[in-house]
Structure 1
Amino acid sequence: MDGARAKSRQSSHRKPSAVAAIDFGTTNTGYAYYFRPAQYRPIAANDIEVKKQVPTTVLLSPTKDFVAFGEAAEDQYRNLTVEKKHNEYYYFRHFKMNLHHLPHLSNDINIKDATGKEMQAMTVFKEAIKYVKEELLEKMNGGQTGDISESEVRWVITVPAIWRDSAKQFMKAAAILAGIRAEGLVLALEPESAAICCKDMALNNVAGVEGVILKAFDPGQMYIVLDCGGGTVDTTVHEVQTDGRLKELHAAAGGPWGGKLVNDAFEQHICDLVGSDIFHKFKKENTSQWLEFESNFEAKKIRYEGKQDITLTFPAYLISKFKIVRKYELHDHFEQDYLRNRMCKLIDNNLVLTPKLMDHLFANATDKINAHIEDLRCKEKLKMISTILLVGGFSESKVVVNVVKEHFKNELRVVAPPHGGSAILKGAVMYGWDQNIIAVRVCPFTYGVHTRSVYNANIHKGATPKEFNGKRVVDNCFHKHLEIDEQVLVGENTTPSTYTLINRNKPVAFWRIYKSTQKNPVFCHEKSCSHIGTLKIEIPPSVKETNIKMNICMTCRGTELKATAFLPDHKGVECVANLDFLDTSSLESDMVSSFTE
């Protein structure tokens, strides 16, 4: 390893003065922090300060300036709706899910607020993170005799394990715009963070932690962490190594099956009940009543245990508007169509949701969660899994825990550690303190670059070769760097690939990055392949030659895919390599002047 890389590696291992973690969730956001003690000792979960989570809600002014975040944003927006001034403001809730759902992400992509107005997503995320960061710093300084500067803090932001590389990069870019230093910023995977915290609580016999959790972290044990959040549910599968570090056995997987799915099902039920025309008019004309109605359901949903009726005050607007539009009473509609199904009742102005209906609403999420775990258990290498750890805010619902336990009874130990939501935050702080706790990751896709290769009749079947620099070559080739399901040692470089650049006339070389669900794709236009970004490599000005060889490695650094590049014929010269997953422009790769051997 050359001196520059060794210095960088040592710097990344240096313990910071403090670690601050932000769990920026779909539904709620919280933070936690830890100060390095005067006399060094290993960090423990109980040493970490955690702040109560608040709604991930942002209110921006008509001029797109920050107004409020969390409960303050919700309260101010309700007041604006009463005064009929809300349409001028930008109100964002559950906006994190855009990074999961939108097919293509870029720095300048727009998202819609509650009333359909568009704003640049980067602005919304930046303002939200900036507010939380500043409040966190204020809280940290309030507990110290002297101020702590931002440069002394290692910042950690949690992200779903199933996020694409572009979504991770987007979140990191927003955090940097919010004032967090790039060199002091780490991304932590949510289920992985929870596992780190649960492992610590078990080994330190934290009160309330079941003995079965301790067994799950014995060397050689395999377990699934099921992170049930507000927007997504994702899983990671670990094996505990003899040194206590964790080895990933299967690439992160999951889907948009979090607590929001229950809310969406409830909204659709109300829409079906009164009719979409009346319901959508209600949301637009009487936004304050809708927000109150939805908020009441969210509060009751969290406390629902699976047996009791849920009673909500039904919006007066819907009762009166239904009579005007349909020409008969909503109560009569219930008598005719809903009471006989015993799903819900309307008594005066109270909507009573029966357990039958509530179980139906939850099933939209829990059925998908159980099916996902079944799919994982079908894989040969995961047959020895013994335990499921349920974490995340949605896991604090007794319905979710009971449904998963019932489905896998007599097959797997299903454990919901106490305070499953805060486990992610505490684990994120611990990961920020020591990123070496994760030793091995599994590659979720085959990654490679778009280039030109020397023609091989056995490999490039159907392709027509052409002459280039005295060789027969083929265009549009997928040159593999990492293979799907490959186990990658975190922080260690993989075997480099050699590229030959001919007649270069600029200081930057670039290749288009592709991923594939196949192990050995040959061409980038195959069905399994998709273009995900650009690899840009800056060649130092001291290198004057127009024809050069370049060695490129792709590997896992922490939770992100990274690249390194160096020139084998120029000892001690390292190039700056950057993987840009937000740049999916149609620019051709430098394959026009390069090829792989």
Structure 2
Amino acid sequence: MSSHDPKFKLVVAFDFGTTYSGYAFSFRDFPLHIKTNCGWSDGADGLVTMKAPTCLLMTPEDEFHSFGYEAENKYSSLAAEDKHRGWLLFRRFKMLLHNTEHLNRKTTVTDINGVSRPAIKIFTMAIRYLKHHFITNVFQQPEIGTFLSERDIKYVLTVPAIWSSNSKHFMREAAVEAGLEDRQLKLCLEPEAASIWCLSITKSIGNVEHFTGVPFMVIDLGGGTADIYVNEKKDDHTFKELYKAGGGPWGGKAVDENFVKWLMGLLGETVMNKFKEEHMCEYFDMLRNFEMAKRSFSADTTGLVSFKLSKILLQLFDENSDSDLRTIISESNLDGFVEFKDDHISVDSSIVATWFLEPISQMIEYVKTILARPDLSKVENILVVGGFSESKFVHDELNEKLKDKTITIPQDPGLAVVRGAVRFGQLPTIVSSRVVKAVPNFKLQ
């Protein structure tokens, strides 16, 4: 087994996700006792999650204000009082690094209203917040603050393996500007972290020795992307990469976008835009409720599926539409497939399934092209992690379309990457070899 890095007393990993972000840490002397933040609360409905929404709010003076649920709630309250003009709310901006080939200091990211700011500034603010949140929480504990200084911390920042070298270097520079010392910082590929964690805990995947000496695939299904990777666990418990990670924008965010797009087609673009712009709090609540509801939807679900909406949304429809819902449903041939009652909409499961099928089908087809390679013909086991892997529909589709493979989803799959990144920081040589692409000499200009 690889030896621990003796220079640091604590390793903290930041999982900077498209939809949610969080961190985990452990001490050198208790490496498997990995702690995560005790929970991020939405402050309204009692929803507590192990990660916070990747959402950043800036003041009209272009200063950082808040992150996560606090940022969403503050902007919502400002919007409710029509005081949000000039405030900037950035959501799910990590996807910029998936789509942008030529990054520089002039590259911008837009907020929810289309206002642009330098991407390096927004990423730096977000990482600085996560670091500050961690330091504040850990160092306020007297038994820790007395023997630990920031020099004793190794920082690990997770990045998708499918990103370009430029995007990975961009994240490193943003992290350094955020106050993470370069000598204390390591980047960890998300699917590598997932495989490290999964194969570190035998009870999550059965007989871990079945993975030794044979290739296995990791599918990291996050909010924005699917990251797919093939490696092998060697006899010395290190990992050898067999296939350079690939993937695409097939995460859970695509399902949310399909849901909103479908609502827009039914209620009208004007209504949905007014709802989003003028009633931001209710709009976020709708998406949060949909996030929870979509996890329980499966391929076996039949009949109507109910989602909580907002009465304000229906009021906006009444005020801005020349027709009524009953007529629109009838003219759209949706009689019996869609029903509205109070603050709920019930949609036939066949329609809901289409919101999932587009990204999942594309991901599965990509997986099949990898598995069809002659050099990967021995891949029998597939580990699936990431927040989107908690969806029952994802489970069902993978098991149905990849029947000849053993699909394994560990406990708390949404935390597998951040926990594995902590292990990676503790054991710097745990990945013994990778398939390497040429890396350019990169520096932001």
| Shared fold per TM-score greater than 0.5 | yes
Give 2:323's match in structure 1, choosing from 315, 324, 328.
328
1:242 aligns with 2:228: no
Q: Deviations over 1:518-547 (max 9, x none)?
A: xxxxxxxxxxxxxxxxxxxxxxxxxxxxxx
SS at 1:339's partner residue? coil
1:406 maps to 2:400: yes
Corresponding residue for 1:103? 101
Looking at structure 1, the residues matched to 106 and 148 of structure 2 have their Cα atoms a distance apart, in angstroms, of 34
Verify the 8 A CA contact 2:101 2:164 in the aligned structure 1. Answer: no
Q: Is the 8 A contact 1:28 1:53 kept in 2?
A: yes
Q: Distance in 2 between matches of 1:33 and 1:325?
A: 51
- Check if 1:211 corresponds to 2:73: no
2-side partners of 1:345 and 1:338: how far apart? Answer: 13
Which amino acid letter does the alignment assign opposite residue 94 of structure 1?
Answer: R
Please, what is the CA RMSD of the aligned residues? 2.0
Secondary structure at 1:442's aligned position in 2? coil
How far apart are 1:325 and its partner, in Å?
4.3
**Which AA in structure 2 matches 1:292?**
D
What displacement does 1:347 show?
2.9
What's the CA shift for 1:303? 3.5
2: CA distance, partners of 1:421 / 1:350: 28
Q: What is the Cα deviation at residue 183 of structure 1?
A: 0.8
1:162-209 deviations in whole A, cap 9, x for unaligned? 01111111111111111110111000011100100111102xxx4xx2
Look up the match of 1:65: 63
Partners of 1:368 and 1:582 in 2: how far apart?
Answer: 33
One-letter amino acid of the structure 2 residue matched with residue 250 of structure 1: Y
Aligned twin of 2:365: 371
Matched to 1:314, the amino acid is L
Report sequence identity in percent.
32
Quick check: 2:28–2:426 contact (8 Å CA) kept in 1? no
- CA offsets, 1:2-40, max 9 Å, x none? xxxxxxxxxx95441111100011111111111122xxx
Give how far 1:317 is off: 4.5
The alignment partner of 1:236 has SS state of strand
- Relative contact order (alpha carbons < 8 A, sep ≥ 6): 1 or 2 greater? 2
Alpha-carbon deviation of 1:145?
Answer: 5.4
Paired with 2:182 and 2:111, the residues of 1 have a C-alpha distance of 29
Aligned to 1:293: 286
Distance 1:198 1:284, change over 3 A: same
Give yes or no for the alignment of 1:395 onto 2:393. Answer: no
For residue 402 of structure 1, what is the amino acid of its counterpart? D
**Which residue of 425, 442, 445 corresponds with 1:580?**
442
Q: Which residue of 1 aligns with 2:414?
A: 421
Provide the C-alpha distance between the structure 1 equivalents of 2:362 and 2:323, rounded to a whole number of angstroms: 39
How far 1:67 sits from its partner (Å)?
A: 1.1
Structure 2: gaps (5+ residues): 38-49
Q: CA offset at residue 321 of structure 1? A: 4.1
| Aligned-partner SS, 2:434 | strand
The answer on whether the counterparts of 2:198 and 2:416 sit within 8 Å (CA) in structure 1 is: yes
- What's the CA shift string for 1:481-524, capped at 9, x where partnerless? xxxxxxxxxxxxxxxxxxxxxxxxxxxxxxxxxxxxxxxxxxxx
Alignment partner, residue 49 of structure 1: 35
- Kindly state the Cα deviation for residue 383 of structure 1 after the two structures are TM-superposed: 0.5
Q: CA deviation at 1:366?
A: 1.1
- 288-297 vs 393-402, greater mean Cα deviation: 288-297
Are the structure 2 counterparts of residues 325 and 136 from structure 1 closer, same or farther at C-alpha, using a change threshold of 3 Å? closer
For 1:169-568, what aligned pairs fall within 5 Å after superposition?
Answer: 169-202=169-202, 206=203, 209-212=204-207, 214-218=208-212, 220-306=213-299, 307=301, 309-340=304-335, 342-409=336-403, 411-444=404-437, 447=438, 561=439
C-alpha contact 1:216 1:222 (8 A) present in aligned 2: no
Describe the superposition over 1:248-268 as per-residue Cα deviations: whole angstroms up to 9, x where unpaired. Answer: 111110001000000010111
CA distance in 1, matches of 2:34, 2:309: 42
| Distance in 2 separating the partners of 1:27 and 1:385 | 30
Question: How big is each residue's C-alpha offset from its partner over 1:292-315, in whole Å with a ceiling of 9 and x where there is no partner?
Answer: 222221221233344264323434
- Give 3-state SS (helix, strand or coil) of 1:436's partner: coil
CA pair 427-60 structure 1, distance change in 2 beyond 3 A: same
Letter in 2 for 1:49: K
Contact 1:18–1:154 (CA<8 Å) still a contact in 2? yes
| CA contact 2:337–2:348 (8 Å) conserved in 1 | yes
Which of 84, 97, 117 is matched with 1:119 structurally?
117
Post-superposition offset of 1:289: 3.0
Partner SS, residue 231 of structure 2: strand
SS at match of 2:217: strand
Matches within 5 A, 1:153-164: 153-164=153-164
* TM-score, normalization by structure 2: 0.90
**Partners of 1:20 and 1:33 within 8 A in 2:** yes
- Give the 3-state SS of the residue equivalent to 2:396 in structure 1: helix
Q: Which of 11, 17, 20 matches 2:9? A: 17
Given the alignment, which residue of 22, 30, 40 partners 1:30? 22
CA distance in 1, matches of 2:253, 2:74: 23
- The one-letter code matched in structure 1 to 2:193 is S
In the alignment, the residues of structure 1 paired with residue 325 and residue 416 of structure 2 have an alpha-carbon distance, to the nearest angstrom, of 45
Structure 2 distance, partners of 1:404, 1:419, is 18
How far apart, in 2, do the equivalents of 1:355 and 1:191 lie? 32
Q: How far 1:330 sits from its partner (Å)?
A: 1.7
Residue identity opposite 1:275 in structure 2: G
- Work out whether residues 60 and 91 of structure 1, in 8 Å CA contact, stay in contact via their aligned partners in 2: yes
User: How big is the shift at 1:349?
Assistant: 4.2
User: 2:126, 2:16 → 1: CA distance?
Assistant: 9
Write out per-residue CA displacement over residues 135-165 of structure 1, whole angstroms, 9 at most, x where no aligned residue: 1112222251515222111100001110111
SS in 1 for 2:281: helix
Residue identity in the other structure for 1:112: T
Bigger share in strand: 1
| Structure 1 Cα separation of the partners of residues 123 and 289 of structure 2 | 26
Q: How many residues align?
A: 426
Name which of structure 1's ranges 143-152 and 316-325 shifts more when overlaid on structure 2: 316-325
Contact (CA 8 Å) 1:31, 1:425: kept in 2 or not?
yes
Residue 378 of structure 1, CA deviation: 1.1
**TM-score scaled to structure 1, two decimals?**
0.68
CA contact (8 A) 1:161 1:253 kept: yes
- Structure 1 Cα separation of the partners of residues 135 and 71 of structure 2: 20
SS in 2 for 1:283: helix
Counterparts of 1:321 and 1:230 in 2: how far apart (Å)?
29
In structure 2, relative to structure 1, the CA distance for the partners of 1:145 and 1:288 (3 Å cut) is closer
SS in 2 for 1:74: helix
**Bigger helix share:** 2
Contact preservation (8 Å) 1:391, 1:416: yes
1:111-157 Cα distance to aligned partner (Å, 9 max, x none): 11011111111111111111110111122222515152221111000
